[in-house]
Amino acid sequence: MRLEELVDQHYQQLSANDRELVTSIFREKAAISAMNSTQAAAFLHISRTTLVRLLKKLGLDTYAQFKLLLTQKEHAGAESRFNMPEIAENYRLLLNELKKYDYTAICQMLYQADTI
């Protein structure tokens, strides 16, 4: 779900100040997405607690969730979330890297252990 959709869902629960704050956030998306919660609160001229309360009203548990929604592309659909050829290539590279090491000693220790 996009941040805009989340705001629309909870719009009636937001106070006038919350709505102003959301407008400021949308206006400065790029800048805020590069900040931590303390920096974002200072940038928006509010306390960090006020920012956290807004996130709770939107149904978000953490600032990290908010930041993820904030950085999502406008046109990000289900088809653009996963690039299967890239994922498969990354797994292939990972497996090739793992093949470079000898795991005989570790496997022997695990096999001989009474408990793991």
Closest CA to 37 of 68, 62, 2, 18: 62
For 77-92, the pLDDT digits (tens) are 545 567 788 888 889 9
- Residues 67, 72, 77, 80: is their CA dihedral positive or negative? negative
pLDDT digits (tens, 9 = 90+) for 17-75: 999 999 999 999 989 989 999 999 999 999 999 999 999 999 999 999 999 888 886 54
Which pLDDT does position 104 carry in this prediction?
Answer: 93
Supply the pTM of this predicted model.
0.61
Per-residue pLDDT at 95: 92
Q: What pLDDT, on a 0 to 100 scale, did the predictor assign at position 42? A: 95
Helix intervals (H) in the chain: 3-9, 16-27, 29-33, 37-43, 48-57, 63-71, 78-81, 84-98, 104-112
Indicate the burial class of 12 (C-beta count within 10 angstroms; 0-12, 13-18, 19 or more). exposed
* CA nearest to 25, candidates 7, 13, 1, 49: 7
* pLDDT, greater one: 76 or 3: 3
